Amino acid sequence: MLWLGWWLIASGIALFALFADREDAGGILVLVGAPLLIIAYVYQLVVRFRCWAALPPGGTTVTPGKAVGFLFIPIFNMYWQFIAYARLATEARASFQVVQAGDCPISRPLSIAYCILNLLAFIPYLGLVATFVNQIILTVLVHQWSAFLRVTARPSPR
């Protein structure tokens, strides 16, 4: 869904540029692509919240609400993303090795790379490349978070 949203928005902007006299051609694609992007980003926030919530109580230094909520604080979120992504991988690995035998599916280096590329996205021209690569990394991270949730799923008490 993330890729479809980006593709529709990029196509809409291209149509705006190519057919300046027909504004409605690209506008429709942008109007369809923007909600898809919003849905995809909300989904990844929900999955990240669930990952933090899946960690054993008392074993984390950050609550799930803080991990996601502090990302909405301007400027501070540039620092906090390293906590929300990289520390999630670190604490998930620590709790995973206690509970399971094997390796945690969440990659810490990939999480750090995502955070660094987020910061590079503000640099003109380089930001376009960083954003494109970041979307690939985010797709992999969301898949890893989902795998972590599947492995650590606890049966609900009845």
Q: How far apart are CA 119 and CA 127, in angstroms?
A: 9
pLDDT tens profile 25-78? 556 666 666 777 788 888 889 989 998 988 887 777 889 999 999 999 999 999
Sign of CA dihedral 76, 79, 81, 84: negative
Q: Is the pLDDT of residue 101 over 60?
A: no
Predicted TM-score (pTM) of this structure: 0.77
Residue 98 pLDDT: 60
pLDDT tens profile 10-29? 555 555 555 555 556 556 66
